[in-house]
Structure 1
Amino acid sequence: MTDDIVLSKGLIKEFPASDFSLIIPGITQGAPMKRILNGISFELPKGMSLALLGPNGSGKTTLLKTLSTIYAPDGGKAQVCGYDLVEEIKEVRKRISFVSPSMNFQKKLTLKQTLDFFVKVTNGDWALAKDFIEELHIDHLWDTRLETFSEGQKAITRLCVGLQKNPEVLFADEVTGALDFRRKQIVIEFLEKQAKERSLVLVDHDPEVVDVLCDKLLLLSRGGTVRAMVDVAQLHSEFDYAFDVMVIPKGHMTEKAAEDLWPQFEMVGGMCRFFAKNREEVLVIHERVVDWGKFIDIKTSGISIEDITLMWLAKHEKEAIQEQAQRKKELAEKRAREEEKKEKRAERWERWKEKMRHPFE
């Protein structure tokens, strides 16, 4: 058994390269395949939760479904809750739940009938399901058919089905995506209170969800490879920004002009992006840009967790490059000093030999 709640070593997943490929086991030879996960390796310690981040095509949802046993891996190894993902799949499935917007239920069943079915099938916890429904204030819908539910009510039902099993690991795709602000806050608080009881592995772009519920971020690159594993606390200790203010200047804007307006910025294709920690700083940036006056447009938006992660990586990659350059410089200087010493020793040796040839001069 391992001390990690999730462990992945070189995980690979492939699908037919074309949606129209017909794969017949034992007959089809050399069917073209596209690799979605290309050697995913990471460790998630027990008691911690993880967010999967990355651009479209990086394999986030595929990784989530593979770790939750919906897809079988085509290579590599993985363990969840200490059990092998392939060889001990039944043990894994006893201990996990998967929640996704793609989950559908029998529309003619009521909320109570639906939850009752899943509690019996999975040997779940009816009290936990009831508490969750009551906290989300949809207990008045117990006897209502799911076909009449709004998208938000369906999202709550899906999450309840996942939670009633009381899983050690909850795998969830956009867990609060269809919820209004008030219900999103309730879900976040509910999951936060249960943090000691289970780990979460989430695909979610909501900074608040990730900040509150996750300890680590796994950033994937296009092509299904791991770019970095980052601690959320470390990320926000270095980049504690919530908003960006994008300014389109009239003509060319120098870095000096941008820095004079606000020190936290980056130049993006002729535009300038300023970073603010709160709304008060946003107002200050707006006032300074308006006073400066040399702009066409100004727009404020929230910073996504991917943006923060990429900025953190860019900073550390830049620092790593600088450190590598400094090490190369120091090594070159050391070699130059050694060469100089060798030359001086050779000169002394030549002088000594010359002196030995003419000892009495």
Structure 2
Amino acid sequence: MSIKVEGLSKTYGNQKALNNISFTIDKPEIVGFLGPNGAGKSTMMKILTTYIDASEGLAEVNGFAVNTAPKQVQESVGYLPEHNPLYLDMYVKEYLTFNANIYKVDKQRIQEVITLTGLTPEAHKKIGQLSKGYRQRVGLANALLHDPEVLILDEPTTGLDPNQLVSIRELIKSIGKTKTVFLSTHIMQEVEAVCDRVIIINKGEIVTDKKLKDLQEGKDQIVVVEFDYRVEDAFLLRLPHVKSVKNTFGFVYEITFDTTLDMRPTVFDFAHDNELKILQLNQKFENLESLFRELTQN
């Protein structure tokens, strides 16, 4: 078991940042850790990387307790914090060499992580000359230097352009085939693109912990239909498995169904039987962003 958290709480004065959190993560697995600002995400990651102590509870990484074996935890974890700390006056390769000496890793590993994170075109520059996206890559390269078993990434794609996003996501997915990756992000598409599992936290407490495929299977189905004239909502609510009807604009309606069955043929037959003309008929599913808002709006 790569990460084990039991009954973990963290209090700052009278404020409880984490309240009795428990979860486990196995290897290999990519887990997305989601929550609104102030939910406790960064606090959890700082505890797992031994930067701060928990007020109560147990946390282990690779079998080492974070409070009693911090050095062993640090040796087995690669960490990219939200605010990526870098020496801006150092060259990329110089910075990675400096950290390689600390980790006592083979110097050939420096070039390996430079290539792995797409830093080759910028490796000759000072870090202060790099864009924010490339600085993120330097931080990720540094986290990978000692080939850790667990990678903890706090907002790893901040500042990346769309092309960089794709390459870094592919890198994270590749790493996740053999290692544990625990990442926080505000980008829902990123979670859907790379994660195996999602943990959502709100006000210091876990509100859901599920495999991504289970969340996707449990989503409501939405059929978007456009008629040639306005139809009363009550009329469409007669459809089977219907949860709600929303007139989005003009003669376009979003009909939400609580079923995994494809409801488009049913809507088509319903329209035909009631002499309604359909101008468009599409299917979509509630996305992770909608679920996130539902679970964290209170």
Shift of the 105–259 alpha-carbon distance from structure 1 to 2, 3 Å rule, reads: farther
Shift of the 95–136 alpha-carbon distance from structure 1 to 2, 3 Å rule, reads: closer
3-state SS, counterpart of residue 29 of structure 2: coil
| CA distance in structure 1 between the aligned counterparts of 2:220 and 2:162, rounded to whole angstroms | 22
Relative to its length, the structure with more strand (as a share) is: 2
Report the counterpart of residue 77 of structure 1 in structure 2.
58
Alpha-carbon offset, residue 203 of structure 1: 0.6
Alpha-carbon offset, residue 125 of structure 1: 5.5
Task: Choose 99-108 or 157-166, whichever is displaced more.
Answer: 99-108
Q: Note if contact 1:11-1:41 (Cα within 8 Å) is conserved in structure 2.
A: yes
| CA distance in structure 2 between the aligned counterparts of 1:131 and 1:265, rounded to whole angstroms | 53
Q: Are 1:231 and 2:211 counterparts?
A: yes
Q: Note if contact 1:5-1:81 (Cα within 8 Å) is conserved in structure 2.
A: yes
Q: Note if contact 2:64-2:73 (Cα within 8 Å) is conserved in structure 1.
A: yes
Identify which of 281, 288, 294 aligns with 1:305: 288
Report the counterpart of residue 26 of structure 1 in structure 2.
none
Matches within 5 A, 1:1-361: 4-16=1-13, 33-124=14-105, 126-222=107-203, 224-239=204-219, 254=233, 256-257=235-236, 305-308=288-291
Shift of the 91–171 alpha-carbon distance from structure 1 to 2, 3 Å rule, reads: same
Alpha-carbon offset, residue 77 of structure 1: 0.9
Q: Note if contact 2:119-2:138 (Cα within 8 Å) is conserved in structure 1.
A: no
Q: Note if contact 2:28-2:176 (Cα within 8 Å) is conserved in structure 1.
A: yes
Q: Note if contact 2:219-2:286 (Cα within 8 Å) is conserved in structure 1.
A: no
3-state SS, counterpart of residue 208 of structure 2: strand
Q: Note if contact 1:205-1:306 (Cα within 8 Å) is conserved in structure 2.
A: no
The two structures have a TM-score, normalised by structure 1, of: 0.63
| CA distance in structure 1 between the aligned counterparts of 2:46 and 2:238, rounded to whole angstroms | 45
Alpha-carbon offset, residue 309 of structure 1: 5.6
Instruction: Tell me how many residue pairs correspond in the alignment.
Output: 272
| CA distance in structure 1 between the aligned counterparts of 2:190 and 2:107, rounded to whole angstroms | 26
Relative to its length, the structure with more helix (as a share) is: 1
Alpha-carbon offset, residue 195 of structure 1: 2.0
- Matched AA of 1:14: T
Identity %: 22
| CA distance in structure 1 between the aligned counterparts of 2:18 and 2:195, rounded to whole angstroms | 22
Q: Note if contact 2:76-2:149 (Cα within 8 Å) is conserved in structure 1.
A: yes
| CA distance in structure 2 between the aligned counterparts of 1:60 and 1:255, rounded to whole angstroms | 43
Q: Note if contact 2:19-2:205 (Cα within 8 Å) is conserved in structure 1.
A: yes
Q: Note if contact 2:33-2:185 (Cα within 8 Å) is conserved in structure 1.
A: yes
Structure label with greater radius of gyration: 1
- Matched AA of 1:254: D
| CA distance in structure 2 between the aligned counterparts of 1:149 and 1:166, rounded to whole angstroms | 24
- Matched AA of 2:98: F
| CA distance in structure 1 between the aligned counterparts of 2:76 and 2:158, rounded to whole angstroms | 25
Task: Note the residue ranges of structure 2 that are not aligned, 5 or more in a row.
Answer: 225-230, 257-263, 265-276, 280-284
Alpha-carbon offset, residue 217 of structure 1: 1.3
The two structures have a TM-score, normalised by structure 2, of: 0.75
| CA distance in structure 1 between the aligned counterparts of 2:286 and 2:110, rounded to whole angstroms | 34
Q: Please provide the CA RMSD for this pair.
A: 4.0
Q: Note if contact 2:236-2:245 (Cα within 8 Å) is conserved in structure 1.
A: no
| CA distance in structure 2 between the aligned counterparts of 1:104 and 1:244, rounded to whole angstroms | 47
| CA distance in structure 1 between the aligned counterparts of 2:101 and 2:33, rounded to whole angstroms | 31
- Matched AA of 2:71: K
Alpha-carbon offset, residue 159 of structure 1: 0.9
Shift of the 84–145 alpha-carbon distance from structure 1 to 2, 3 Å rule, reads: same
| CA distance in structure 1 between the aligned counterparts of 2:238 and 2:103, rounded to whole angstroms | 58
